[in-house]
């Protein structure tokens, strides 16, 4: 059995944190579903920036769009290409969606990161993208900012599948889980709605380890690489309390799905650590881990999936975070900054993508006046 499929036997769904047209058209995505038990795909502006601007996969499509409409702006070029990717990936994963009764098999598309601080604009954009993709197994990604959380509640109530992203703390998670519960309570058909709570992992260690190294004591250095998994395990404990407790019991009887924690940012950034650290340490029922391609390949090659680990050592996890606090590391401040920086990073990638598409657009249009007769694949 594939090591990745073994994670499924322990209750964890593996999604791929990557999308590109050739991944779908080559049949590779279908192979991952069939051979490795892949259950979903996530995307973000950084992924699309690399895929669309950094490859020739989309040039024929851009050529066709501009042939029909030479006035099409970079944002239009991006959206048409990205939406087509999401639709194609969702079609590949539809069998997973059907086989799991709508509990899995999702593909995620993110709203513009420039809307992260605007509730009303987020609501409008999510509704528009939901209609444009028109697939039951799509999730629209909304950041867990103070302005994003009320949008999540409203959208869940409307029956739109939401992937809430950029969570870094228990405080972020609590707000998102409660918004999901309130939205389901207002929904006419709660059994038809699905959601995941994307909790970012490795970035916490990146920042905390830097502070520990600055402190430099033996106690501080011994804590490196432990904060992120401890942080995530306590979120999982809270998930179990909420969704296996009284708060969710009535909705469960109505057929509602739990809002699974999704471990994001699980590629190892510190080469001193195992390249599957944030997979092996967070295995458990009712969870998703979305892996970048290199981490997925690494786990397929040498990952260990012998037991559920995310529910282990909750007391020890509390102790690790208490030790960080005793050393003067303010995890609340760290995680709030990580969320702010995450929004900014996605916005920067989005702008880089639009700039690259503007260059491609100009090159394509320059080949023929009026945008006619453009050479396919040209840059």
Is residue 79 within 8 Å of 118, Cβ to Cβ? no
> In the structure, what pLDDT confidence band is assigned to residue 369 with cuts at 50, 70 and 90?
low
pLDDT in tens, 132-172: 999 999 999 999 999 999 999 999 999 999 999 999 999 99
Statement: residue 105 has pLDDT above 70: yes
The mean per-residue pLDDT over the stretch 311-315 comes to: 92
Q: Assign 3-class secondary structure to 259-280.
A: CEEEEECCCCCCCCCCCCHHHH
Q: What is the pLDDT of residue 377?
A: 36
Statement: residue 246 has pLDDT above 70: yes
Q: Report CA torsion sign: 185, 128, 46, 293.
A: positive
Is residue 236 within 8 Å of 313, Cβ to Cβ? no
Q: Report CA torsion sign: 315, 321, 324, 325.
A: negative
Statement: residue 78 has pLDDT above 50: yes
Give the relative orientation of helices 227-243 and 170-186 as an angle to the nearest 10 degrees: 30
Statement: residue 22 has pLDDT above 60: yes
C-alpha dihedral, 264 to 155 to 122 to 177, nearest 10°: -40
pTM equals: 0.94
Statement: residue 97 has pLDDT above 50: yes
Q: What share of the chain is helix, strand, coil (3-state, %, to 5)?
A: 60, 10, 30
> In the structure, what pLDDT confidence band is assigned to residue 116 with cuts at 50, 70 and 90?
very high
Statement: residue 39 has pLDDT above 60: yes
Exposed / middle / buried, residue 63 (Cβ in 10 Å: 0-12, 13-18, 19+): buried
The mean per-residue pLDDT over the stretch 104-110 comes to: 97
Q: What is the pLDDT of residue 364?
A: 84
Q: What is the pLDDT of residue 23?
A: 97
| Alpha carbons 298 and 290: distance in angstroms, whole number | 14
The mean per-residue pLDDT over the stretch 316-336 comes to: 97
Q: Name the active-site residue from 5, 141, 337, 379.
A: 141
Statement: residue 312 has pLDDT above 90: no
Q: What is the pLDDT of residue 378?
A: 35
Q: Which CATH number fits domain 3-371: 2.40.50.100, 3.20.20.70, 2.60.40.10, 3.40.50.2300?
A: 3.20.20.70
Q: What is the pLDDT of residue 373?
A: 43
The mean per-residue pLDDT over the stretch 48-75 comes to: 91
Q: Average per-residue pLDDT in the chain? A: 94
Q: How far is CA 134 from CA 48, 129, 137, in A?
A: 20, 8, 9
Q: Residue 304: phi, psi to the nearest 5?
A: -115, 125
Q: How far is CA 89 from CA 20, 25, 109, 234, in A?
A: 9, 10, 11, 33
The mean per-residue pLDDT over the stretch 283-294 comes to: 98
**Using the 8-state DSSP alphabet, how is residue 215 labeled?**
H
pLDDT in tens, 222-244: 999 999 999 999 999 999 999 99
Q: Any catalytic annotation for residue 269? A: no
The mean per-residue pLDDT over the stretch 85-94 comes to: 98
> What percentage of residues in the chain have a pLDDT greater than 70?
97
pLDDT in tens, 249-271: 999 999 999 999 999 999 999 99
pLDDT in tens, 348-368: 999 999 999 999 899 888 875
String of b and e for 7-27 (b: at least 16 CB within 10 Å)?
bbebebbbbbbbbbbebbeee
Q: What is the pLDDT of residue 1?
A: 78
Element (H or E) spanning 17, and its range? strand 12-17
* Nearest Cα residue to 287 out of 330, 347, 229, 329: 229
String of b and e for 134-169 (b: at least 16 CB within 10 Å)?
ebebbbbbbbbbebbbbbbbbbbbbebbbbbbbbbb
The mean per-residue pLDDT over the stretch 86-102 comes to: 98
> In the structure, what pLDDT confidence band is assigned to residue 375 with cuts at 50, 70 and 90?
very low
**Using the 8-state DSSP alphabet, how is residue 27 labeled?**
S
């Amino acid at each position: 059995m594939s090591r990745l499929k073994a994670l499924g036997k322990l209750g964890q769904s593996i999604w791929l944190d990557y999308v590109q047209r050739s991944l779908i058209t080559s049949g590779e995505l279908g192979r991952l579903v069939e051979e490795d038990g892949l259950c979903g795909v996530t995307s973000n502006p950084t992924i699309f920036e690399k895929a669309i601007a950094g490859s020739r996969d989309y040039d024929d499509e851009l050529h066709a769009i501009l042939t029909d409409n030479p006035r099409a702006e970079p944002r239009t070029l991006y959206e048409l290409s990205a939406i087509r990717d999401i639709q194609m990936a969702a079609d590949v994963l539809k069998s997973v969606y059907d086989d799991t009764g709508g509990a899995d098999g999702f593909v995620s598309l993110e709203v513009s990161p420039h809307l992260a601080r605007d509730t009303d604009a987020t609501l409008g954009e999510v509704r528009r993208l939901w209609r444009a993709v028109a697939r039951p197994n799509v999730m629209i990604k909304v950041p867990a900012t103070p302005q994003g959380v009320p949008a999540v509640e409203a959208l869940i109530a409307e029956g739109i599948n939401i992937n809430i992203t950029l969570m870094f703390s228990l405080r972020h998670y609590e707000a998102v889980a409660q918004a999901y519960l309130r939205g389901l309570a207002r929904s006419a058909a709660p059994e038809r709605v699905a959601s995941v709570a994307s909790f970012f992992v490795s970035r916490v260690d990146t920042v905390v380890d830097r502070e520990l190294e600055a402190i430099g004591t033996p106690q501080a250095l011994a804590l490196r690489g432990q904060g992120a998994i401890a942080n995530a395990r306590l979120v999982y404990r809270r998930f179990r309390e909420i969704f296996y407790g009284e708060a969710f019991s009535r909705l469960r009887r109505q057929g509602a799905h739990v809002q699974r924690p999704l471990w994001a940012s699980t590629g190892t950034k510190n080469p001193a650590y195992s390249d599957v650290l944030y997979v092996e340490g967070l295995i458990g029922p009712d969870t998703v881990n979305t892996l970048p391609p290199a981490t997925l390949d690494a786990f397929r090659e040498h990952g260990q999936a012998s037991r559920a680990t995310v529910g282990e050592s909750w007391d020890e996890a509390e102790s690790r975070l208490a030790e960080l606090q005793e050393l003067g590391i303010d995890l609340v401040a760290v995680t709030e900054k990580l969320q702010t920086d995450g929004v900014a990073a996605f916005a920067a990638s989005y702008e880089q993508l639009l700039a690259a598409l503007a260059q491609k657009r100009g090159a394509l249009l320059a080949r023929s006046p009026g945008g006619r007769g453009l050479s396919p694949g040209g840059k």
